[in-house]
């Protein structure tokens, strides 16, 4: 229940779900690219999923086509013959149809009840649609029957808690990070107010806003694993970022080195929490095949990197700031600690935040990473003590200071 005095408003929440997406940021997309492909300049579709379009003359089915960006992006691939694309949003399908390439056909389909053509498709792509399906048993059964014997299923979905009822510890981390941000970055676009903290959306508001939203999301991956053989998966995260950034992500300007640094640091920290198992990953990209299939990835070449990926600056790590970095005092014996790669990423971003202009990418030197790690171990300081001391020798930004303190406290508490 919303309860008397609740801030939740169904109309505002519905609008924010539709219009203020946490991925609407170049910095966030680069982070997700790297988690999927290992390269912030290459995305999941053209530089990861493309390998699982195995064979030639392929017939593809796209589930959850929306306004058609995915089909338009792949329709020209030389190994694709035709694409059928469906969604249950009639207005979006009409807009997609108006821009459709010649080899793409659209239809309005409700996967809760629809029957798909049997044994027709070489590749099925489900994009942000299955977490809206209540009758998952029917939908997954139809998908399996629509696939040819050696077809692949590519899924890009929210697979977190049903109706966004995330855990208490996730909420606490989210609000710890929110408290570090200045008011200008917490000012909402849709709600036109300053967000002080996040809350779980009440179930009645969720259902009133969209009764299909994340209706059985947490069951999705287990049901796919039961029916199909998963060949590969990437855990994108989004567990903190999605709820933290809704309605404020647009405030973090990519061309402002400080605002971009805040967001990149938060992204790196969420990734570390997911990879360590401290929190689950709410978003997943996976590829699967029918259990009788032996289809594998195809040796597809990577597309060229964009011109923007050539804008690279040197690694800021090394010997800078050595004079102001303390050693653990009092003669205490401290177990040597190691700066993990994600910690080095946070330090790099913090160090370049003070610059008037930043390049799109930072060249990460293995030698400088080794030097930094060696110096940290020799100091006897814990990783975030070292990071804080190294950074503060160059800058005094209160937001970065607060973020580093919060990251260190949360990371220590998770161990």
CA distances from 311 to 46, 258, 323 (A): 21, 18, 31
% of the chain surpassing 90 pLDDT: 87
Contact 154, 49 (CB under 8 A): yes
Question: Could you please report the per-residue DSSP string of 8-57?
Answer: --HHHHHHHHHH--TT-SHHHHHHHHHHHHS-TTS-HHHHTGGGGS-SSS
pLDDT value of residue 330: 47
The string of pLDDT tens digits covering residues 32-45 is 999 999 999 999 99
Residue 279 near residue 239 (C-beta atoms within 8 A)? yes
Q: What is the mean pLDDT of the chain?
A: 91
Q: Return d(Cα 169, Cα 404) in angstroms, integer.
A: 19
Task: Decide: 273 and 370 in contact? Cβ < 8 Å.
Answer: no
pLDDT-derived band at 316, boundaries 50, 70, 90:
very high
Cα–Cα distance between 237 and 242 in angstroms, integer? 9
Give the separation between CA 222 and CA 158, rounded to whole angstroms.
13
The closest alpha carbon to 265, from 117, 151, 405, belongs to 405
Full-model pTM: 0.92
Residue with tokens 């609740």: 6
CA distance 111 to 85: 12
Residue 152's nearest CA partner among 291, 317, 348 is 291
Residue 193 confidence class, pLDDT cut points 50, 70, 90 = confident
């Amino acid at each position: 229940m919303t309860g008397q005095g609740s801030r939740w408003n169904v109309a505002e929440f519905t609008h924010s779900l539709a219009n203020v997406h946490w991925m609407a940021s170049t910095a966030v997309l680069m982070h997700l690219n790297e988690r999927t492909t290992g390269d912030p300049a290459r995305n999941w579709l053209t530089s990861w999923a493309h390998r699982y379009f195995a064979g030639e003359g392929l017939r593809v089915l796209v589930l959850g086509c929306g306004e058609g960006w995915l089909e338009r992006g792949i329709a020209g691939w030389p190994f694709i013959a035709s694409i059928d694309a469906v969604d249950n949003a009639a207005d979006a399908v009409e807009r997609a149809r108006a821009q459709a390439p010649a080899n793409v056909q659209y239809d309005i389909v409700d996967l809760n009840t629809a029957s798909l053509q049997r044994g027709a498709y070489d590749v099925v792509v489900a994009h942000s649609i299955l977490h809206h399906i209540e009758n998952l048993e029917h939908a997954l059964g139809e998908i399996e029957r629509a696939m040819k014997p050696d077809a692949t299923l590519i899924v890009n979905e929210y697979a977190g808690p049903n109706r966004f009822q995330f855990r208490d510890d996730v909420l606490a981390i989210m609000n710890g990070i929110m408290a570090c941000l200045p008011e200008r970055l917490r000012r909402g676009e849709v709600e036109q107010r300053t967000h002080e903290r996040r809350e779980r959306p009440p179930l009645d508001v969720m259902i009133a806003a969209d009764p299909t939203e994340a209706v059985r999301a947490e069951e999705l991956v287990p049901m796919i694993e039961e029916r199909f053989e998963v060949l590969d998966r990437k855990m994108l995260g989004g567990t903190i970022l999605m709820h933290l950034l809704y309605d404020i992500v647009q405030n973090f300007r990519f061309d402002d080195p400080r605002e971009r640094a805040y967001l990149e640091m938060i992204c790196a920290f969420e990734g570390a929490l997911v990879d360590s198992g401290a929190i689950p990953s709410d978003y997943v990209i996976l590829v699967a095949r029918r259990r009788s299939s032996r289809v594998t990835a195809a040796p597809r070449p990577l597309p060229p990197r964009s011109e923007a990926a050539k804008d690279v600056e040197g690694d800021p790590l090394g010997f800078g700031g050595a004079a102001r970095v303390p050693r653990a005092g009092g003669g205490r014996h401290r177990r040597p600690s190691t700066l993990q790669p994600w910690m080095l990423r946070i330090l790099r971003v913090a160090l370049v935040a003070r610059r008037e202009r930043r390049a799109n990418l930072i060249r990460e030197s293995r030698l400088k990473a080794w030097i930094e790690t060696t110096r940290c171990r020799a100091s006897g300081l814990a990783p975030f003590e070292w990071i804080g001391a190294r950074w503060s020798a160059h800058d005094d930004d209160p937001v970065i200071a607060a973020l580093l303190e919060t990251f260190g406290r949360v990371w220590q508490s998770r161990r």
